[in-house]
Amino acid sequence: MTAKPKVWVSRPLFPDVLARLAEHFDVQAEAIERKHGPDELKARLADVDGALVGLADRVDASVLEGARRLKVVANLGVGHNNLDLDALTRAGVLASNTPEVLTESVADFAWALMLAAARRVGAAERWLRAGQWPGSNMRFDDWLGLDVHGRTLGILGMGRIGQGIARRGFGFDMRVLYHNRTRLPEAVERECHAALVSRDELLRQADFLVLVLPFTPENRHAIGALELSRMKRSAVLVNVARGGIVDDAALAAALRSGQLAAAGLDVFEGEPSVHPDLLSLENVVLSPHIASASEETRRAMANLAVDNVIAALGFGESAGKPPTPLNPAVLSRATSKA
Ligand code: 8YV
């Protein structure tokens, strides 16, 4: 009997999802959540046919050296700035990600941060839990926040998640503006009730600016001191994209000086550490990179990553046709070689 192909899973996953892999493969799954350095990643990838990795696993040319059996790396996330796609393609390794399945959950969470930051939910809860709610009635003018309804929602990066955030704006009677490298088809703009403006106009007009850009070298510090200075002093910034798109030190300075009213952040430069100035401010809502973390969505992401590995290694109903490849050229090369 030929040995089963080997698959490494870099993060603990739902047992029933792992069981789907085990039907076809010899699975080595990590039991604890931790970051794997380059040497360890290289050693893990050296003798497996497939791998499921997380955003903390940086897969580049150096870790692929010696990974002779490796055919597929499935990323547990839609963003894939942790993968060097050119290096994977050169090595003939298929890469995949988890688009679509997380769109609506991340859009929901962007709204959670918008609302919480505008209405000071985090700070008010800390105050209540600290027993500071006075016995008599609270002052009528205490805990005043910003309204969300009827304001201007600005979205920077209008992919699927940006569109989901925009569509929700209609229910809050908001004017929706967006900026994107390419204009959306008119039908999509209509469905999202969104209008394209320049990046500068977006910064100037948004009452709520939500970042949903991919993290590329060009987008590093896309929002820094200059951009923040162009925004309204009453504006709220929300980042559900990637740490590093915002200059966190500049943001903390703007929040402290009143240059910007509030922020809601799910992602940070250098996660899991968070800039100490952000930790000490009350006008920012902080969450630990959980925008996609609903029960259904995290399961759907894990299952989609597994679907990609099963298909890429030639098993299951979609053998040879992984559902969400990032470098499909690898597949056509494999077919033409066969
Ligand atoms: C993470 C994300 O994948 O999909 C992305 O790009 O950033 C998240 O959904 C998730 O936090 C798992 O680490």
| pLDDT values of the chain reduced to their tens digit, one per residue, 338 residues | 689 999 999 999 999 999 999 999 999 999 999 989 999 999 999 999 999 999 999 999 999 999 999 999 999 999 999 999 999 999 999 999 999 999 999 999 999 999 999 999 999 999 999 999 987 788 999 999 999 999 999 999 999 999 999 999 999 999 999 999 999 999 999 999 999 999 999 999 999 999 999 999 999 999 999 999 999 999 999 999 999 999 999 999 999 999 999 999 999 999 999 999 999 999 999 999 999 999 999 999 999 999 999 999 999 999 999 999 999 999 987 655 44
Establish whether 289 is a catalytic residue.
yes
**Residue 169 and residue 185: Cα distance in Å, rounded?**
19
Give how far Cα 248 sits from Cα of 161, 266, 277, 309, 328, Å. 22, 12, 9, 36, 35
Q: Where are the domains of the chain?
A: 6-100+295-337, 103-286
Nearest CA owner, ligand 1 atom 5? 77
Nearest CA owner, ligand 1 atom 6? 79
**Residue 264 and residue 236: Cα distance in Å, rounded?**
8
Which one from 242, 269, 275, 298 is the annotated catalytic residue? 242
Establish whether 190 is a catalytic residue.
no
Sequence letter at residue 322: P
Give how far Cα 43 sits from Cα of 18, 33, 48, 61, 96, Å. 21, 18, 10, 13, 21
**Residue 133 and residue 12: Cα distance in Å, rounded?**
41
What are the two backbone dihedrals, phi and then psi, of residue 6, each rounded to the nearest 5 degrees? -105, 140
Rounded to two decimals, the pTM is 0.96
For residue 280, report the distance from its CA to the centre of ligand 1, in Å.
26
Residues with CB under 6 A from ligand 1: 54-55, 76-79, 102, 289, 292
Establish whether 275 is a catalytic residue.
no
Maximum distance among all alpha carbons in the chain? 79
**To 10 degrees, the CA torsion angle through 148, 150, 153, 158?**
120
Fold matches, 6-100+295-337 and 103-286: yes
Nearest CA owner, ligand 1 atom 1? 77
For residue 263, report the distance from its CA to the centre of ligand 1, in Å.
20
Structure token pair of residue 96? 């995949």
Angle at the Cα of 198 (from 196 to 203), degrees rounded to 5? 105
Residue 280's Cα: distance from chain center in Å? 24
CATH assignment, 103-286: 3.40.50.720
Pick the CATH number of 6-100+295-337 from 3.30.300.10, 3.90.950.10, 3.40.50.720, 3.40.50.300: 3.40.50.720
**Residue 129 and residue 144: Cα distance in Å, rounded?**
18
